[in-house]
């Protein structure tokens, strides 16, 4: 079996429960023995976060892959956390439905892992993140006790919102055992347009025009700082009408050269997006308000990109991948000389403190010298209190998350 290393730390043992009851028993025994542990799905985000302070056992969730309840007419499904998104796709496609969570590797990524890491991609523009799609969740607490929040219906708002709390928790509050999602119908038609520009200022004008014309694109992604790909999905009539607006109104107004993409070309662009989120010894995600132009912030990084940079300008998110540690040039064009720290300072300066940088992957040799998350957010005191309430002994993935949680 391939060695599992969680943010560079290899555990003493790896166990794979075959049922949720067995999962609860394993966690309870680890808790009682005061052995630190972590949960792993398909292993696509093992490099994310800081190195755990201690790690005795990894609980691998991949055998928990059953469909528990699927009601196509209600557009909801409940599954165990170890099912891969590719397998979930196969189940849903039979009923013309989909779960629009984009990950870099659907064949390996599990539902629980996607929720725990809050993985999202270009279709967040229309469908949101896991927080917008999750309806209910079943967990195993760090003490081995099973708990549940939410329900099987979309309009469930009673009680504490445990499902949303688990999104992005990175396995620090317990094991995600089951998830209930709301689903969407697969679009009748999907078409995409690549817009290229004479001047970079026209890119911002084009994104504003998309909002002003009230188009409803499935995704808006900027590749290599110069090509804006707009994808529209829905009914054939609705898609055709929006494409007419793109070609006849938005593109001329922004001095853009539009070109409709073939299905093969669309897939090629999506492969580039997956590559920048998956490959490279150093990978970073820049997040800032869309008005700050976060899409082009990577242009000041002093390192050759390993993959084509990809950004979602209407969301204020950009992905970058490098073979070597990136550093930033100063505002005067001089090389800063400090990997990552200079990048973070430049992003903060360009966004007036509103932006931040997450290091999604780094070499093991860099761990301990670079914080994956950067400075804790203003809500950190609340996050720390929540961690203490769920895991007072600090056994569940200790130290991997923001501020050493």
Write down the pLDDT at residue 154. Answer: 46
pLDDT surpasses 60 at 336:
no
Distance separating alpha carbons of residues 18 and 371, to the nearest angstrom:
35
Contacts of residue 278, Cβ cutoff 8 Å, sequence gap at least 6? 44, 104, 105
The domain defined by 189-261 carries CATH number 3.90.1200.10: no
The phi and psi torsions of 49 (rounded to 5 degrees) equal: 95, 175
pLDDT at position 118: 95
CB contact at 8 A, 123 and 100: yes
pLDDT value, residue 172: 96
* Prediction pTM value: 0.91
Mean pLDDT of 51-68: 96
Kindly report the number of other CB atoms within 10 A of residue 252's CB atom: 10
Residue 75: half-sphere exposure toward Cβ, Cα within 13 Å: 14
CATH of region 67-185:
3.30.465.10
Kindly tell me if the per-residue pLDDT of 84 is higher than 60. Answer: yes
Residue whose structure tokens are 């808790």: 31
Each residue's pLDDT tens digit, 124-145: 999 999 999 999 999 999 999 9
Residue range(s) of every CATH 3.30.465.10 domain in the chain: 67-185
Distance CA 284, CA 280 (A): 10
DSSP secondary-structure letter at 15?
E
Task: Give residue 38's pLDDT.
Answer: 97
Query: pLDDT by residue (tens digit) across 152-201?
Result: 654 444 456 899 999 999 999 999 999 999 999 999 999 999 999 988 88
312 vs 340, which has greater pLDDT?
Answer: 312
Closest CA to 147 of 283, 299, 13, 20: 20
How many whole angstroms separate alpha carbon 226 and alpha carbon 200?
7
Q: What is the pLDDT of residue 164?
A: 93
Residues of CATH 3.30.70.3450 domain(s) within the chain? 189-261
Contact status, residue 92 vs residue 183, Cβ threshold 8 Å: yes
Q: How many CA atoms lie within 13 A of 177 on its CB side?
A: 23
CA distance 107 to 109: 6
DSSP string covering 47-91: TSSPPPS--SEEEE-TT---EEEEEGGGTEEEEETT-BHHHHHHH
CB-based contacts of 227: which residues, under 8 Å, 6+ apart? 194, 195, 196
282-287 β-sheet, strand order: 256-260, 189-197, 227-234, 219-223, 310-312, 317-322, 282-287, 356-361
What pLDDT does residue 15 have?
97
- What pairs with residue 314 in β-bridges? none
> What string of H, E and C letters represents the secondary structure of 166-226?
HCCCCCCCCEEEEEEEECEECCCEEEEEEEEECCCHHHHHHHHHHHHCCCCCCEEEEECCC
Question: Distance between CA atoms of 14 and 7, rounded to whole angstroms?
Answer: 15
Note the pLDDT of residue 326: 81
Percent of the chain exceeding pLDDT 70 equals 94
Is residue 3 very low, low, confident or very high in pLDDT (cuts 50, 70, 90)?
confident
pLDDT at 325 over 50: yes
The topology under which CATH files domain 274-366 is: Alpha-Beta Plaits (3.30.70)
């Amino acid at each position: 079996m391939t060695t599992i290393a969680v943010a560079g730390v290899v555990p003493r043992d790896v166990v794979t429960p075959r049922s949720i009851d067995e999962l609860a028993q394993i966690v309870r025994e680890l808790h009682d023995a005061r052995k630190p542990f972590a949960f792993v799905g398909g292993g696509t985000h093992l490099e994310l976060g800081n190195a755990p302070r201690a790690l005795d056992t990894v609980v691998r969730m991949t055998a928990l892959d059953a469909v528990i309840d699927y009601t196509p007419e209600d557009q909801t499904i409940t599954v165990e956390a170890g099912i891969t998104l590719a397998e979930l796709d196969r189940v849903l496609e039979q009923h013309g439905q989909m779960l629009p969570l984009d990950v870099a590797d659907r064949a390996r990524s599990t539902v629980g892992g996607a929720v725990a890491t809050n993985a999202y991609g270009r279709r967040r523009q229309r469908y949101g993140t896991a927080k917008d799609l999750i309806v209910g969740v079943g967990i195993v607490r760090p003490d081995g006790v099973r708990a549940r929040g939410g329900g099987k219906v979309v309009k469930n708002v009673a009680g504490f919102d445990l499902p949303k709390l688990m999104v992005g928790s990175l396995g620090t509050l317990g094991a995600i055992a089951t998830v209930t999602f709301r689903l969407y119908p697969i679009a009748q038609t999907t078409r995409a347009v690549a817009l290229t520009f004479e001047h970079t200022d026209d890119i911002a004008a084009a994104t504003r025009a998309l909002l002003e014309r009230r188009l409803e694109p499935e995704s808006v992604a900027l590749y290599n700082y110069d090509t804006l790909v707009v994808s529209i999905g829905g009914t054939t009539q609705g898609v055709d009408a929006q494409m007419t607006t793109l070609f006849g109104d938005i593109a001329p107004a922004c001095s853009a050269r539009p070109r409709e993409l073939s299905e093969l070309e669309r897939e090629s662009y999506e492969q580039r997006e997956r590559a920048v989120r998956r490959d490279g010894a150093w990978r970073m995600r820049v997040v800032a308000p869309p008005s700050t132009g976060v899409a082009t912030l990577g242009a000041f990084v002093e390192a050759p990109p390993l993959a084509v940079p990809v950004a979602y300008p209407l969301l204020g998110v950009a992905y970058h991948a490098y073979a070597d540690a990136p550093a930033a040039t100063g505002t005067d064009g001089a090389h800063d000389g400090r990997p990552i720290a200079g990048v973070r300072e430049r992003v903060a300066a360009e966004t007036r403190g509103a932006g931040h940088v997450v290091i999604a992957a780094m070499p093991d040799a860099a761990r301990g010298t670079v914080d994956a998350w950067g400075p804790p957010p203003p809500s950190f005191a609340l996050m720390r209190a929540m961690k203490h309430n769920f895991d007072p002994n600090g056994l569940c993935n200790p130290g991997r998350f923001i501020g050493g949680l």
